[in-house]
């Protein structure tokens, strides 16, 4: 049973690596940012398919960035609304 589970895990890992093969981290990050911006539900542990293969730190940074954009603290150009951030809302 353990052998079958380990073999399945290895095959799933190889499939994920093969799917991401040929794309650079920058290309994966760009695709991931688009997926997050499209409104796909994403959490720290439940990534959109476009984000598979991206290192955890990079994914979490994109996830936080999109959350700040969604909240209105950062606009689409990446500018911070300091008044909105510091003021009463």
For 74, list phi and psi in degrees, rounded to 5.
-125, 135
Is this structure's pTM higher than 0.85? no
Residue 73 or residue 60, greater confidence: 60
> Hey, how many other C-beta atoms are within 10 angstroms of the C-beta on 82?
9
> Percentage of the chain with pLDDT > 90?
33
Question: Which pLDDT score, from 0 to 100, does residue 2 have?
Answer: 66
What confidence category does residue 56 fall into, taking pLDDT thresholds of 50, 70 and 90?
very high
Please give the Cα distance from 4 to 85 (Å, whole number): 52
Please give the Cα distance from 17 to 88 (Å, whole number): 46
Residue 43 or residue 37, greater confidence: 37
């Amino acid at each position: 049973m353990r052998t079958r589970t380990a073999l399945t895990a290895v095959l799933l890992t190889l499939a994920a690596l093969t799917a991401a093969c040929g794309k650079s981290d920058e290309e994966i990050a760009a695709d991931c940012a688009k997926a997050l911006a499209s409104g796909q539900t994403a959490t720290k542990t439940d990534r959109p398919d476009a984000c598979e293969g991206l290192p955890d730190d990079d994914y979490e940074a994109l996830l936080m960035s999109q959350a700040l954009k969604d909240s209105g603290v950062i606009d689409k150009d990446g500018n911070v609304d300091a008044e909105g951030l510091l003021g009463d809302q």
